[in-house]
Structures are given as structure tokens and as C-alpha cells.
């Protein structure tokens, strides 16, 4: 099973009001195991970066000025994503920006039926708990000490670890598959124990036992069941 964990950085919160995507980071999982394949890109948004957004991710106008437009790398991104499910934290936000950018370069949107939202998973797994990426990393003991600012690829790497924990932990998917389609290189599936079942033993009372029981009941002078 192939899945893509992804995250985006943007100029703001609403693509419908002119905000643009400026970074995307994608991590490939096969059977919930990272393969090492990634896609990462920065984009020139053709607009200025608001100060509030720059404080979040540190991507300013000078840094983005010589970066390609989204349309220049759209084909490469779509080839990497292919038809896999896409996993994101607050996935509706990232899908909105991804599909807005695809629309601007006359590409078909990514169907939301492929969307997996880790916030929705975390709400079911940990009702009432804090659901931020930082909070979930803390809950699962995932080191985020190197995360001083938001970054799409770094956040996708952290989210990949969180997603594995949310969907069963590190015991699942321990069949490791090499990137180039080579065969299985390791498996830790436990051996199936074969059990021998004995035929059932008879438990019916003998005629002598039934007679003894009847005699015992008759010896009770004031039985409670005859109240």
C-alpha cells in the first residue's frame, strides 16, 4: 500500500482570497514504512509575503524570488503523487491550496476521496486531547528538537512518524520494501503456532449419579423451591 504524507507552507490562510502555496514537502510510505523517496519544492508565489506568514515559516520575498512557479513543477509533483492516498495534518487546508494551484495551471484537482486527515484520526484515538503536530509528537515521544520553524518537508517527516503511531504503531507494516521494486528484504511477522485440539469429553451424569441426586433432594425436609 502506497501513501504520500505531505505538508505545505503558504502566504496565508485562504487560497480563494489570493493566498498562494510557497513550499510543499512529500514523503513516500509503502506499507506505512518510509522508503526514502521524497518530493520537495519552493515556489515563487508572484506576490509579496505577509510578515505574519514569514514569521511562521521564514520564507521571505528575497528567498522565493528565484524559485520556480508552481506550474513549472506541477507535472513532476503529480508524477510523484500518482494515484496514492494523501495524508496531511488538517488535510482540508493543504488540499485547498494544492487544488487551487492546480486550477491556476489548468490541471484537474486531486479528488478529496484520496484525503486522509491525521487530525480526524487523532480525534478518534485521543478525544479531548491537544491535536497539534507538536502535541502529538510529544505524546508519541517523537523528537522535534530540530524544528524551530515550520517547514513543509520537515513537518511531513514528523507527520509520517505520527501517522504510523495513529494507525497502529511500529509493529505494523514491518515488511520492508526497497524503493526500486526489489523483493522483500526483511519481515518480522510472528510464526503461526499450530495447535492440536482434543475431542470433547462426555459430561453427562450416569444413572447411579442421577438416582443419588434424586434421593438427596427427597431428604431435604423444607426445600426452598417448594416455598
pTM: 0.73
Tell me how many degrees the CA angle 175-137-59 measures, rounded to the nearest 5: 105
pLDDT tens for 165-196 read: 999 876 544 444 444 444 333 333 444 556 66
Report the distance separating Cα 195 and Cα 201, nearest Å: 18
Report the distance separating Cα 6 and Cα 26, nearest Å: 4
Closest to 2 measured CA to CA, from 213, 211, 177, 126: 177
Q: What is the pLDDT of residue 202?
A: 67
Output the average pLDDT for the chain.
87
Q: Which active-site residues does the annotation give?
A: 150
User: Which burial class, exposed, middle or buried, applies to 119 when counting CB atoms under 10 A from its CB (0-12, 13-18, 19+)?
Assistant: middle
Q: What is the pLDDT of residue 189?
A: 41
Q: What is the pLDDT of residue 174?
A: 45
Going by the DSSP 8-state scheme, the letter that residue 19 receives in this structure is -
Report the distance separating Cα 106 and Cα 117, nearest Å: 26
Residues with Cβ within 8 Å of 191's Cβ and at least 6 positions away in sequence, in order, are none
Report the distance separating Cα 159 and Cα 118, nearest Å: 8
Q: What is the pLDDT of residue 193?
A: 56
pLDDT tens for 4-19 read: 999 999 999 999 999 9
Residue 201: pLDDT band with limits 50, 70, 90: low
Task: Give the residue-averaged pLDDT of 91-96.
Answer: 97
Lowest mean pLDDT segment, chosen from 77-86, 109-118, 197-206: 197-206
Q: Note whether 40 and 25 are within 8 A (CB).
A: yes
For the cut 80, the answer to whether the pLDDT of residue 149 exceeds it is: no
Question: Residue 5: which H helix or E strand, with range?
Answer: strand 2-10
Q: How many CB atoms lie within 10 A of CB 6?
A: 28
For the cut 50, the answer to whether the pLDDT of residue 39 exceeds it is: yes
Q: Note whether 147 and 7 are within 8 A (CB).
A: no
Q: Which CATH superfamily is domain 2-166 in?
A: Ribonuclease H-like superfamily/Ribonuclease H (3.30.420.10)
Q: Note whether 81 and 4 are within 8 A (CB).
A: yes
Task: Give the residue-averaged pLDDT of 59-79.
Answer: 97
For the cut 60, the answer to whether the pLDDT of residue 96 exceeds it is: yes
Report the distance separating Cα 65 and Cα 44, nearest Å: 6
- Answer with the residue of higher pLDDT: 224 or 76: 76
Length of the chain: 227
For the cut 90, the answer to whether the pLDDT of residue 111 exceeds it is: yes
Q: What is the pLDDT of residue 191?
A: 46
Report the distance separating Cα 131 and Cα 27, nearest Å: 21
Q: What is the pLDDT of residue 170?
A: 62
Amino acid at each position: 500500500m502506497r501513501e504520500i504524507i505531505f505538508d505545505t507552507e503558504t502566504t496565508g490562510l485562504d487560497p480563494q482570497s489570493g493566498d498562494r502555496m510557497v513550499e510543499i514537502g512529500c514523503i513516500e510510505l509503502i506499507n506505512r514504512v518510509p522508503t526514502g523517496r521524497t518530493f520537495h519544492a519552493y515556489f515563487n508565489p508572484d506576490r509579496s509575503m505577509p510578515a505574519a506568514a514569514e514569521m511562521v515559516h521564514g520564507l521571505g520575498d528575497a528567498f522565493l524570488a528565484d524559485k520556480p512557479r508552481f506550474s513549472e513543477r506541477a507535472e513532476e509533483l503529480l508524477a510523484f503523487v500518482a494515484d496514492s492516498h494523501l495524508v496531511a495534518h488538517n488535510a482540508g487546508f493543504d488540499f485547498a491550496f494544492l487544488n487551487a494551484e492546480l486550477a491556476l495551471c489548468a490541471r484537474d484537482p486531486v479528488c478529496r476521496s484520496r484525503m486522509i486527515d491525521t487530525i480526524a484520526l487523532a480525534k478518534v484515538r485521543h478525544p479531548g486531547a491537544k491535536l497539534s503536530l507538536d502535541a502529538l509528537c510529544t505524546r508519541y515521544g517523537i523528537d522535534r528538537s530540530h524544528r524551530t520553524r515550520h517547514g513543509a518537508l520537515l513537518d511531513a517527516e514528523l507527520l509520517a512518524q505520527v501517522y504510523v503511531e495513529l494507525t497502529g504503531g511500529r509493529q505494523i507494516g514491518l515488511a520492508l520494501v526497497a524503493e526500486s521494486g526489489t523483493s522483500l528484504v526483511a519481515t518480522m511477522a510472528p510464526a503461526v503456532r499450530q495447535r492440536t485440539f482434543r475431542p470433547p469429553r462426555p459430561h453427562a451424569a450416569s444413572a447411579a449419579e442421577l438416582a443419588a441426586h434424586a434421593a438427596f433432594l427427597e431428604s431435604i425436609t423444607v426445600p426452598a423451591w417448594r416455598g
